[in-house]
Chain A
């Protein structure tokens, strides 16, 4: 797998899916009397005890506001919050923790860049480059910015397999391009984009790159310096951490050159009615009381993941996706949408004559959680001429057995509709 880096040579734990499943209490529940088969990880991942306990411990014995008080609890909360930032910095291999901003999620991270970097640097006649693979969260903020500034949104097409047309990407990069905003892994199709190469191509034209890593961070080891990404965004809840917390990595020189995102407490050094002096990065971008527990929870998720050898986990997940692809491909009338050579975690499909929404309802009755719909990527659905897909998405706690449950479930769907 490409883009892997920084593998620990001495994992603290040997990976075993049976042992891992014990760490996630929700995985042992039943739904309608059937064991839960949670195959909706691209929408949100489940949480290990390590994260649930870290949240509980924070609210039970560490809770206070950060960067404010002189009292004991405020110091504890501040230390834990800032330590979480360092944990994320190391996780992404960023140069400095000053480059790690805590935000609400990948969506807010992208909106932050559009509202600050974008408003400052993108003007009438300029262009923003995205791809046909993007999630709505990496389309709409740029569309809004372009509308506001009189700039133009350009879209790199994908081929029938769901891979970005790199020649078109190269062709669309020009002196007018002020930023390229690219997904690392497609949430709807699972395509892993050659992001390092694309960043190099963009940089050759002097174009900075924002990477939407929401789907990539759970699957790949991210090294922002190796990638040379200018911005990298992800959400904690997709990487086994809490909801409501995301990360924006930005190169320090870029963050320093950008105006603040929101005004308020914590983002200032001094305020008078005449003038406010803004705080240094990262705090300049964190107005108001942050999601302290969320950051601590994300750090707990990262520590939990870091105990494993990522190469082993990666190999297991790729084998699982391969097996699921083989198993489902054999079903008559089933078509897999998105057949890129490099894929991770996601298997989108349609069944002839049966709408994905009906598939979802019938599988649900079997205890199988999948996502159905357009996956917040309507342009991709338009590309394939379909209204929606059914999507199974995998995490390292999923099993071969769950793939067989999915297969049996899809057979049941066909039976209900008389397509046996």
Chain B
């Protein structure tokens, strides 16, 4: 049986209750909408870039605890990261929520993001966790179209 506690970790509940960087960014370099039509999760991710570096990241929108906490934790983790570091974390986060991370080294690298490992036991919720990341990636690539995880 999958364990609810592994899904709803304290850090996830905390970021859901008190999302960080949860605001509209007027001076964003790029913003993209992400939408999950099945459950109605809807977020806008704002990035402020200085050359190759993400200097600020913010988000707005609504959705379930997993998607909101994922956006919030992502925003704290990616602030100050370079484009390539963000892309690498995107890949690693994908592996994590799909249950493909096994090594301690990866887990260490993921830091706070490791709290989302439990999502892999709930296949219906994987798309909740990855929606903000996909949206962020499109913003990085300056693709303007709305991201959909369906």
Stretch at the interface among A57-65, A226-234, A356-364: A356-364
The distance in angstroms between the C-alpha atoms of A356 and B2, with both chains bound, is 19
The smallest beta-carbon distance between B19 and chain A, in angstroms, is 13
Within 8 A of A (CB), among B10-40: 13, 17, 38-40
The distance in angstroms between the C-alpha atoms of A357 and B17, with both chains bound, is 16
Contact of B2 among A358, A365, A417, A418 (CB under 8 A): A365
Chain A residues with CB under 8 Å of B63's CB are 355, 357, 387
Pairwise interchain contact B65-A358, C-beta atoms closer than 8 A:
yes
Tell me if A32 counts as interface (CB < 8 A to partner B): yes
Main secondary structure of the interface of A (DSSP, over half): mixed
Contact of B62 among A358, A361, A365, A387 (CB under 8 A): A387
Chain B residues with CB under 8 Å of A418's CB are 13, 17
Which B-chain residue is minimally distant from A416 (CB atoms)?
A: B8
Interface size counted on chain A using CB atoms at 8 A: 20
Pairwise interchain contact A354-B4, C-beta atoms closer than 8 A:
no
Contact of A357 among B8, B13, B64 (CB under 8 A): B64
Chain A residues with CB under 8 Å of B8's CB are 358, 362, 416-417
> Which of A381, A387, A416, A417 gathers the greatest number of chain B CB atoms within 10 Å?
A387
Tell me if A237 counts as interface (CB < 8 A to partner B): no
Pairwise interchain contact A361-B40, C-beta atoms closer than 8 A:
no
Tell me if A33 counts as interface (CB < 8 A to partner B): yes
Pairwise interchain contact A355-B64, C-beta atoms closer than 8 A:
yes
Pairwise interchain contact A361-B124, C-beta atoms closer than 8 A:
yes
Interface size counted on chain B using CB atoms at 8 A: 22
Contact of B39 among A357, A362, A417 (CB under 8 A): A357
Tell me if A244 counts as interface (CB < 8 A to partner B): no
Tell me if A373 counts as interface (CB < 8 A to partner B): yes
One digit per residue, 1 when the CB lies within 8 angstroms of any chain A CB and 0 when it does not, for chain B 108-126 equals: 0000000000000010110
Contact of A381 among B40, B66, B122 (CB under 8 A): B40
Chain A residues with CB under 8 Å of B13's CB are 416-418
The distance in angstroms between the C-alpha atoms of A418 and B38, with both chains bound, is 26
Chain B residues with CB under 8 Å of A33's CB are 1
The distance in angstroms between the C-alpha atoms of A33 and B40, with both chains bound, is 30
One digit per residue, 1 when the CB lies within 8 angstroms of any chain A CB and 0 when it does not, for chain B 57-79 equals: 00000111110100000000000
Contact of A388 among B39, B65, B124 (CB under 8 A): B39
Which B-chain residue is minimally distant from A362 (CB atoms)?
A: B4
The smallest beta-carbon distance between B144 and chain A, in angstroms, is 23
Chain A residues with CB under 8 Å of B4's CB are 361-362, 365, 416
Tell me if A87 counts as interface (CB < 8 A to partner B): no
One digit per residue, 1 when the CB lies within 8 angstroms of any chain B CB and 0 when it does not, for chain A 268-282 equals: 000000000000000
Other CB < 8 Å A-B pairs besides A358-B66, A387-B40, 10 of them?
A: A354-B65, A355-B39, A356-B64, A357-B63, A357-B125, A361-B125, A362-B4, A362-B8, A373-B39, A387-B63
Residues of B within 8 A of A (CB): 1-2, 4, 7-8, 13, 17, 38-42, 62-66, 68, 122, 124-125, 128
Nearest 6 pairs between A and B by C-beta?
A387-B40, A357-B64, A355-B64, A388-B40, A32-B1, A357-B39
25 contacts between A and B (CB under 8 A): A355-B62, A355-B64, A356-B39, A356-B64, A357-B41, A357-B63, A357-B64, A357-B66, A358-B66, A361-B4, A361-B124, A362-B8, A372-B39, A373-B38, A373-B39, A374-B40, A381-B40, A387-B39, A387-B40, A387-B42, A388-B39, A416-B4, A416-B13, A418-B13, A418-B17
